[in-house]
């Protein structure tokens, strides 16, 4: 409990540092250059591993085309079997969060990230030699998923302690690395696959990402006060215990309605989130678009991803992080139900295309902003003292949901290549997003009840 109290004091001091009145009385404020280096390092970790993962739609579309041709590893494979590659990677990126967060706290971020960078290159190279579908599911799915987790989780749990008032904005910039990475990687993958083949593309991007991840990891470190607090708590653990023991949140917190609401939100949002991301290129072909167009739609989605995370993060620091958290989830649901579902049953192709473009933009802006607000919202709900423990559990729930949601959605796609073959998939995503939006609001109301000491109060948070 003493160590948790010390960690809690770190967040309060960070907040104090961001006000001019406390410069002389509070702890020494980290330099702007150091804070910027943390943002850049974490941004590049999202840009490299996560950005490439968010471009998996290019491979999804390619592998589905290959499944209709003889003599290759994907011949005869269903859409659900192929999407399992990306789903495994996306789920493991978060499913291993409890262990990776624990290792980051004990062994420091750098060695954990280095391990992720090396494993990323190994997984990509092994996948390039695959001769059967399960080879890709194992290498491009399992190994790259674990590698991405080792690089991604430190980029989410380390930076919050460096920032106070502008935490949501800075986390938005960091998370935007995923979208900008997808924006860059999508056309790069398309060009490389066309010129070099998908096997050489896997080798090239794998080796390049190993270098980017390791270089970025060198600059990422705990905030000094947080590092001192962690050293004190780690003194009681042996390296073997730290390697296998996962610190869990206190039971008094786990058995609250607030925790339950946030857990439901994390599970259902993640179950829905990756489906449009992975299927955007494949779905565009049912509307008459080609491979290059599919890559452009993936790039457009990722561009909106980046804009949404930064823009909503900036706004969230002013109108309230939980308010913004709810609005982005609700608008993600609206975009899916109102635009994607409508595009699958549009009476003519032109109208379907217009609805699909609108959906790509709106979903990219708001569904992705949820990801950027996730860590700041956890701090608002549970405090910095429980941040690492809560983050690990919530990301694990997201990973488990991703492993189920997208493959199940793939089964809902009928065998035809017309827009209406994706109707049930789009409806399923909309329903999952609606449940997520309701649970976000539930968590917000529970927090307001705590703050009002049991009295119901509806108050939008304007300002700080």
Provide the residue ranges of all domains of the chain, joining segments of one domain with +: 2-17+32-451
Q: CA 304, CA 103: separation in Å to the nearest integer? A: 33
Q: Provide the residue count of the chain.
A: 464
Inform me whether the pLDDT recorded for 293 exceeds 60: yes
The pLDDT-based confidence of 462 (bands split at 50, 70, 90) is very low
Q: Choose among 162, 169, 166, 220: nearest CA to 27.
A: 162
Inform me whether the pLDDT recorded for 174 exceeds 90: no
pLDDT at 123: 93
285-299 in b/e burial notation, b at 16+ Cβ within 10 A?
Answer: bbbebebeebbbbbb
Average pLDDT of the residues in 399-424: 80
CB atoms within 10 A of CB 306: 27
The DSSP H or E segment spanning 99 is helix 97-107
Q: Which residues contact 109 (CB under 8 A, 6 or more apart)?
A: 154, 158, 217, 220, 221, 222
Percent of the chain with pLDDT over 70: 84
Average pLDDT of the residues in 348-357: 88
* Residue pLDDT, tens place only, 78-111: 877 888 898 888 888 888 878 888 888 888 888 9
* Residue pLDDT, tens place only, 14-44: 444 444 333 334 445 667 778 788 888 888 9
The pLDDT-based confidence of 269 (bands split at 50, 70, 90) is confident
Long-range contacts of 10-15 (CB under 8 A, 24+ apart): 10/161, 10/223, 10/225, 10/226, 10/229, 10/384, 11/161, 11/164, 11/379, 11/383, 11/384, 11/385, 11/387, 12/384, 13/225, 14/161, 14/162, 14/163, 14/164, 14/223, 14/384, 15/164, 15/165
pLDDT at 464: 38
Q: In the CATH hierarchy, which fold is given to the domain comprising 2-17+32-451?
A: Growth Hormone; Chain: A; (1.20.1250)
Average pLDDT of the residues in 109-124: 92
Q: Could you tell me where the DSSP H helices lie in 197-348?
A: 198-218, 224-234, 239-244, 251-254, 257-286, 291-319, 321-335, 341-344
Q: Regarding predicted confidence, which is higher, 85 or 246?
A: 85
Inform me whether the pLDDT recorded for 135 exceeds 90: yes
SS3 426: helix
pLDDT at 29: 65
SS3 220: coil
Is residue 123 within 8 Å of 206, Cβ to Cβ? yes
Rounded to the nearest integer, the mean pLDDT of the chain is 79
Cα-only R_g, the chain:
22
- Helix 387-411 vs helix 97-107: crossing angle, to nearest 10: 150
pLDDT at 91: 82
Is residue 179 within 8 Å of 371, Cβ to Cβ? no
């Amino acid at each position: 409990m003493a160590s948790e109290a010390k960690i809690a004091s770190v967040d309060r001091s960070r907040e104090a540092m961001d006000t001019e009145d406390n410069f002389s009385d509070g702890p020494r404020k980290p330099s702007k250059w150091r804070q910027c280096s943390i943002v850049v390092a974490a941004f590049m970790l999202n840009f490299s591993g996560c950005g490439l993962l968010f471009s998996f739609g290019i491979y999804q579309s390619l592998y589905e085309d290959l499944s209709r041709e003889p003599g290759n590893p994907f011949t005869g494979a269903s859409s659900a079997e192929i999407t399992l590659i990306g789903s495994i990677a996306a789920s493991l990126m978060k499913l291993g969060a409890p262990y990776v967060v624990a290792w980051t706290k004990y062994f420091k971020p750098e060695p954990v990230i280095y391990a992720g960078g090396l494993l990323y290159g190994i997984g990509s190279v092994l996948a390039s030699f695959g001769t059967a579908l399960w080879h890709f599911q194992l290498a491009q799915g399992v190994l790259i998923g674990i590698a991405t987790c080792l690089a991604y989780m430190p980029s989410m749990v380390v930076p919050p302690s460096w920032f106070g008032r502008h935490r949501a904005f800075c986390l938005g910039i960091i998370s935007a690395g995923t979208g900008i990475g997808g924006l860059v990687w999508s056309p790069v993958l398309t060009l490389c696959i066309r010129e070099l083949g998908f096997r050489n593309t896997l080798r090239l991007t794998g080796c390049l990402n190993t270098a980017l991840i390791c270089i970025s990891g060198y600059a990422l470190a705990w905030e000094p006060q947080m590092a001192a607090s962690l050293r004190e708590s780690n003194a009681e653990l042996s390296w073997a215990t730290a390697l296998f023991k996962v610190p869990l949140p206190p039971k008094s917190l786990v058995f609250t309605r607030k925790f339950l609401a946030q857990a439901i939100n994390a599970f259902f949002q993640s179950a829905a989130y990756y489906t449009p991301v992975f299927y955007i290129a494949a779905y565009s072909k049912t509307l008459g678009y080609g491979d290059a167009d599919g890559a452009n739609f993936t790039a457009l989605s990722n561009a909106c991803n980046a804009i949404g995370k930064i823009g909503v993060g900036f706004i969230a620091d002013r109108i309230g992080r939980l308010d913004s958290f709810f609005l982005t989830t609700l608008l993600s649901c609206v975009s899916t139900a109102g635009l994607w579902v409508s595009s699958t049953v549009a009476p003519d192709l032109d109208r379907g295309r217009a609805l699909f473009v609108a959906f790509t933009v709106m979903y990219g802006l708001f569904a992705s902003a949820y990801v950027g607000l996730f860590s700041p919202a956890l701090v608002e709900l549970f405090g910095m003292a429980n941040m690492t423990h809560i983050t690990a559990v919530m990301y694990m729930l997201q990973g488990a949901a991703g492993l189920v949601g997208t493959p199940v959605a793939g089964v809902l796609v009928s065998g035809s290549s017309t827009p209406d073959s994706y109707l049930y998939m789009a409806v399923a995503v909309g329903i999952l997003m609606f449940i997520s939006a309701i649970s976000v609001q539930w968590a917000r109301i529970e927090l307001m009840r705590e703050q009002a000491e049991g009295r119901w109060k509806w108050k939008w948070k304007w300002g700080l």
